[in-house]
Structure 1
Amino acid sequence: MSSISQIAWDDTVLPFQLDRCDIRGRVCRLDGLLNTVLSQHDYPEKIEALVAEMTMLTALIGQSIDLRWKLSLQVRGDGPARILATDYYGPESEGEPAKIRAWASFDKDRLDESAEPFDLIGKGYFAILIDQGEGMQPYQGITPIAGGSLTACAETYFAQSEQLPTRFELTAGRSTLPGGVESWRAGGVMLQHMPKASPSVANDEGGGGEDGVLAASDLLEDDAEENWNRANILLSSVEELELIGPSVEPTQLLLRLFHEEEPRVYDAKSVKFGCSCSEDKVRNSLSMYSAKDLTHMTKEDGTITADCQFCGAHYVMDPASCGKDAGAAGE
C-alpha cells in the first residue's frame, strides 16, 4: 500500500488515563492496516463497513488487555452477514507491533443494499475470546446481537461479562488526502472506568440495557457515575474529522476533549496487518485424516488445495505428504 499517504500517528493505539475521574482509554488511528485487511477480499460496501468497525474494535480492545498471545472477536448472525471474525496477536517482543487480521462471510444473494450494515447481521451473538497460549485455559464471553451497532455489542459485553463501564466512539470510511489516492481511514476512542464494585451487580438485579442486560449505568453510582457521565458527554462532542483527519494528533485530540480531566498519555503502540497461516498449519489440520479421507479432498490434478480466509494465501499440497498416514509408505 505504498501509494497511500502515511500520517505519523496512523496504525497506532495511544493509551491514556484521565487522572481526575479514574477513567482509562485508548485513541486509535488506522489506515494502512485497514486498507490491507479490506484489500484481501472484494467485499460489498456494507460488508466493508462492518469489517472496518470490527477491526477498529479489535485494535482498541486488544491493546487494553495484558495479552500474551491472541484476542479474537467473532460475530455470527442469521442474516446475510453470516460471520465476522478478527484476530489480534500481541507483540512478540517489546517494541514490536501487534498484528491484526479480519474476515467476513456473507450471502451475496440476500444482501439488501438499502439496509444499514448492522441490520445485515440479523439475530445472533457477539463473542470475545482470549487465548493466552500453551498451558492457559482460553476464555470466552458472549453477548447477544443488540443495540444497533457492533460498537454497542462490545459495550454490552464489557458491562455484562466484565462489569466494566465501557464506551466507544468510532468512525471509518474512504477518504482522499490532497495529492493522494482514495483509501480507508478509521479513528476511534475507547473509554473504560477503572474496576469498581457495583451494588446493582451484587444484588443480581436485571440491568438497564436491552433485554435486561447490564449497562454502564448499572455499574456506577454517586461520584463515579457523575464522572463517567461527564466524560461521555465530552466524548460525544468529538467530530469525525478530529478522529480521522490529518490535522489533529491523538494527543491534541485528548486535550481538546478532556483537558479539565487531566489526561495523561503513555507510549503509543503500533499495529499492522499480520496473518498466522502457514503450510505447516494446514498440514497439521489435515493430520487427523486417513489417506482414504484425503481422496475425497483431492482435486483432478492430484493435489489438495487450501485457501486462508483471512489473507487469501493459496496452498497446494501433495496428498501423500498430508494426513495421519503421511510418510508411512516410505517406512
Structure 2
Amino acid sequence: MNIGSNIAWDDTVLPFQLDRTDTRGRVARLDGVLEQVLSQHDYPPAIEALIAEATLLTALIGQTIKLKWKLSLQVRGDGPARLIATDYYGPTEDGEPARIRAYASFDKERLDPNGDPFPQIGKGYFAILIDQGAGMTPYQGITPIAGGSLAACAEAYFAQSEQLPTRFALSFGQSQVPGQSLHWRAGGMMLQQMPKASPGASGGGSGDNGLLLAEDILEGNEAENWNHVNVLLDTAEEIELIGPTVQPTELLVRLYHEDGPRVFDAQPVKFGCTCSSDRVRQSLSIYSAKDIGHMTTDEGIVTADCQFCGAHYEFDPLTLGFEAEKDPEGD
C-alpha cells in the first residue's frame, strides 16, 4: 500500500451518511495539527493525552458549523487537570481550511504526569459553546463530567442537551512511520442517529447521575439501526482509526458496505490562532490607568502571552485602558 497517498487524508474531517440506517457521521485524521497544538507548551504526558482527545473531538463536532462560526469546547474540573480548552473556527470561505487551537491549565504539584489522564479532571463540567458572530447570542450547552473519557462526556452532552444519540470511537498517541520522527497522531469516527420523529425522552436517564443515554431516546427500528452501526464500529481497530495506512473511505466500506455509505467533501483543518495585539488592547480597554499601572513591569511595559499559541506582546502602558494618554499607533 502506498503510504504517501494516504498521508493526504491527514488533517481532514470526512463527513458521511449511511442511507439505509439514517445515520450520519464523520471520520477525522489529525497529524500536523495535533503536533502544532501540543508543541506550543511543554505538557506532561497525561495533559497531552487529554488535549489530544479534546482536539479530536472538537474537529469531529466542529465540522458541522457554518462558515466563519466558532465552536469552543471546555472541560473544567476540580482535579489537577483544571482546564482543557479548544476552539474550532469555521472556514472563512468554502474550500478553505478550518482552524483549531487548544491549551490546558493544570496544577503541576497535584498532577500525576504519567497517570491515567481522565480521573485527574475530577468533578466538573463539559461544555460546548457556538459563537455565530457579532449581533448573535452564543449558544452554550453544559453537562457534568461523566463516564470514563472525554468521548463519553461528549456522548452524554449530545444525549442530554440535544437528545441526539451519538457515539465516538477515538484513537490517539505518539506514532512513527518510516522516514519520519516520533510524533502525535489522532483519528476517530463519530456516529449520530437521526430520529424520524421528535425525541420524546423526558425525566431522568439511565446514565451516570441520571443522564440520558442513546437507549433512553431511541426505540423500535431506530434503536435496532443504532445498535447495528455500533456493533460494526466496535470491530474497527485502532490502526484503522488513526491511520495513515488505511484510508477513511476504505474503513467506511469495510464497516458499512451494506448500509449505503455516502461521503461528502472532506474538510481540511489546520492549526490557527486569532490572537493579535489589537485583541489584547481590546481586552485591556476596560481597565483604568491605576489598574494598568499594577500590570506594568519594572521595565515600564505591559506584557501579555497567548495561552494558545505562545505569542508574546509588549505595550506602552500609556496606550492601554479607557484612560489611555497616547495613541497606540505611536507605540
* TM-score clears 0.5: yes
Give the Cα–Cα distance (whole angstroms) in 2 for the partners of residues 132 and 67 of structure 1: 9
Aligned to 2:24: 24
Contact 1:22 1:193 in 2 (8 A): yes
Residues 27 and 190 of structure 1 are in contact (CA less than 8 Å); yes or no, is this contact kept in structure 2?
yes
Look up the match of 1:315: 313
**Hey, what's the Cα distance between the residues in 1 that align with 2:115 and 2:245?**
33
Which residue pairs with 1:279 in the alignment? 277
How far the C-alpha of 1:114 sits from its partner, in A, is 5.8
**Matched AA of 1:278:** S
1:281 aligned counterpart, secondary structure: helix
Asked if structure 2 preserves the Cα contact closer than 8 Å seen for 1:198 and 1:220, the reply is: no
- Counterpart position of 1:295: 293
Superposed counterparts of 1:185-196, under 5 Å: 185-196=185-196
Q: For each residue in 1:247-302, what CA deviation from the matched residue of structure 2 results, as whole angstroms up to 9, or x when unmatched?
A: 21110010011111110001111000000100000011111112121110000000
Residue from 302, 305, 316 that aligns with 1:304: 302
Q: Distance in 1 between matches of 2:204 and 2:46?
A: 34
- For 1:125 and 1:248, the matched residues in 2 are separated by 35
User: Which runs of 5 or more structure 2 residues have no equivalent in the other structure?
Assistant: none
Count of matched residue positions in the alignment of Structure 1 and Structure 2: 325
Moved segments of 4+, more than 3 Å: 65-68, 195-200, 327-330
CA distance in 2: counterparts of 1:143 and 1:196, whole angstroms: 25
Aligned-partner residue type, residue 130 of structure 2: I
2:235 equivalent to 1:251? no
Determine the structure 1 residue equivalent to 2:71.
71
Cα distance between partner residues in 2 of 1:105 and 1:190: 27
Is 2:268 the counterpart of 1:270? Answer: yes
Matching residue of 1:152: 152
Aligned partner of 2:170 in structure 1 is 170
Deviation, structure 1 residue 66:
3.6
Give the Cα–Cα distance (whole angstroms) in 2 for the partners of residues 183 and 114 of structure 1. Answer: 18
Shift of 1:197: 3.6
Aligned to 2:218, the other structure's residue is in SS state coil
Deviations 1:45-92 (A, max 9, x none): 010000000000000000023454100000100000000000000000
CA contact (8 A) 1:40 1:311 kept: yes
Which residue identity is paired with 2:174? R
- The sequence identity of aligned pairs, in percent, is 69
**Residue 15 of structure 2 corresponds to which residue in structure 1?**
15
Corresponding residue number in structure 2 for 1:52: 52
Specify the alignment match of 1:83 in structure 2: 83
- Secondary structure at the aligned position of 1:191 is classed as strand
Deviates more, 1:212-221 or 1:60-69: 60-69
Tell me, yes or no, if the aligned pair for 2:101 and 2:308 is still in contact at 8 Å. Answer: yes
> Alpha carbon RMSD of aligned pairs, Å?
1.7
Deviation at 1:155, TM superposition (A): 0.3
Question: For residue 139 of structure 1, what is the aligned residue in structure 2?
Answer: 139
Are 1:122 and 2:130 counterparts? Answer: no
* SS of match in other structure, 1:208: coil
Return the offset for 1:200: 4.6
Q: Deviations over 1:130-174 (max 9, x none)?
A: 110111111110000010100000000000000100000001000
**What is the Cα deviation at residue 242 of structure 1?**
0.7
Secondary structure in 1 matching 2:240: helix
Alpha-carbon shift at residue 179 of structure 1 (Å):
1.6
- Check 1:225–1:6 CA distance in 2 against 1; reply closer, same or farther (3 A cut): closer
Match of 1:236 among 234, 245, 249: 234
Shift of the 199–241 alpha-carbon distance from structure 1 to 2, 3 Å rule, reads closer
The range that moved more, 237-246 or 106-115, is: 106-115
The answer as to whether partners of 1:11 and 1:271 remain within 8 angstroms in 2 is yes
1: CA distance, partners of 2:159 / 2:67: 20
The answer to whether the 8 Å contact 1:67/1:132 transfers is no
The offset of 1:319, in angstroms, is: 0.4
Contact 1:200 1:218 in 2 (8 A): no
Which residue number corresponds to residue 221 of structure 2? 223
The one-letter code matched in structure 2 to 1:211 is N
| Structure-2 separation of matches of 1:141 and 1:12 | 26
Query: 1:202-234 CA deviation, whole Å, 9 max, x = no partner?
Result: xx2321111111111111110010000000000
Q: 1 CA distance for matches of 2:106 and 2:6?
A: 31
Structure 2 residue identity aligned to 1:175: S
Query: 1:121 is aligned with what amino acid?
Result: I
Question: Residue 115 of structure 1: CA displacement?
Answer: 3.3
Report the Cα distance in structure 1 between the residues aligned to 2:90 and 2:295, rounded to whole angstroms. Answer: 34
1:10-45 CA-partner distances (Å, limit 9, x unpaired): 000000000000000000000000000000000000
Q: Deviations over 1:94-146 (max 9, x none)?
A: 11100000010001110124631000100000000011011111111000001
Q: Which runs of 5+ in 1 are unaligned?
A: none
The answer for the alignment partner of 1:326 in structure 2 is 324
